[in-house]
Amino acid sequence: MTSPVAFDVENNIAWVRFNRPEKRNCMNPALNRRMMEVLDELEYRDDVRVLVLSGEGTSWSAGMDLKEYFRETEAKGIAATRAAQRDAYGWWRRLRWYQKPTIAMVNGWCFGGGYGPLFACDLAFAAEEAQFGLSEINWGILPGGGATKVVVDLLTMRDAMYHALTGEMIDGKKAAAWKLVNEAVPLADLKDRVTAVANLLIAKNPVALKATKDAVRRVGEMTYDNAEDYLVRAQEAANSYDNEGRKEGIRQFIDAKTYKPGLGAYDL
Ligand code: ACO
């Protein structure tokens, strides 16, 4: 049987793909379980510096599998339903706090439950041709699985409300204008653009990248004073992992004068 998740590692980038193109990459329990295994396998590999999540075929992900994730699982009862939710939410959470920076490369359809992994990725780039929708309302449920939280966190209240209540799709350009994704480019240019961004990240200190991505997610819900304290401690914790990195960064600027931190990364 074909694996529901495909991946390969090339030039320090792990290209992970939803791989049920015939089902528009909707997430069934088997895909969710396999995705966690793949994330486990890749997370601490030395040759993986950035993870990119995309989809095979015309879809990024058509959300949860209405047949296998909802109907068939619910028919088995509450224990099976909760287990399926744990598997799905589990790998999205894992991705939110992944050791390496992550990029969603949204090549096509992105619906409902797809907003979970979309938000979990640190950055998101979409094809202008991609289509995004909170289609839950179209089949009679609210946007669960974190999807409501995702749009409230990323969009204005008016846009989030309109998006959730109407179920209308937006294309990649509008998703970028609404800040659901960083940027939209024509589909033909998407992989090149994502590769360029991944290479920007690969040039940075990996310990600093992990500390920074966590800091951006954590401080949003803190008071200023709590954030200030957290950031001091987070930097001190990063120093204990990578005591030489920042000293080298300072040395190359102040002593060797080989680079300027305002203009790019030091030589790792
Ligand atoms: N759940 C289950 N099966 C799905 C899903 C899904 N989310 N999405 C697509 N499929 C299946 C179709 O049933 C079809 O199966 P079949 O070949 O056995 O008939 C196959 O994938 C291909 O789908 P089509 O609808 O034929 O593909 P098309 O390219 O015409 O349309 C589109 C793509 C628009 C994505 C359409 O499939 C669709 O609307 N899917 C559902 C999107 C959605 O609302 N997802 C749920 C969001 S809510 C949530 O995730 C909690």
> Is the alpha carbon torsion for 176, 182, 184, 187 positive or negative?
negative
Cβ of 134 closer than 6 Å to ligand 1, yes or no, is: no
Distance 13 CA to ligand 1 centre (A): 29
pLDDT confidence tier of residue 245, bands split at 50, 70 and 90: confident
**Nearest protein CA to atom 6 of ligand 1, as residue:** 65
**ipTM given for this complex:** 0.99
Distance 197 CA to ligand 1 centre (A): 31
Q: Is pLDDT above 80 for 243?
A: no
Atom of ligand 1 at shortest distance to CA of 113?
A: 50
Cβ of 20 closer than 6 Å to ligand 1, yes or no, is: no
Distance 11 CA to ligand 1 centre (A): 34
| Residue range 159-204, pLDDT digits in tens | 999 999 999 999 999 999 999 999 999 999 999 999 999 999 999 9
The structure tokens listed for 241 are 């992992």
**Nearest protein CA to atom 30 of ligand 1, as residue:** 24
pTM reported for the whole predicted model: 0.96
pLDDT mean across residues, the chain = 97
Among 22, 26, 110, 134, say which to mutate for ligand 1: greatest number of ligand atoms within 8 Å of CB.
Answer: 26
| Residue range 75-102, pLDDT digits in tens | 999 999 999 999 999 999 999 999 999 9
| Residue range 21-54, pLDDT digits in tens | 999 999 999 999 999 999 999 999 999 999 999 9
Q: What is the layout of strands, in order, in the sheet containing 50-55?
A: 5-10, 13-18, 50-55, 102-106, 123-127, 183-185
Cβ of 112 closer than 6 Å to ligand 1, yes or no, is: yes
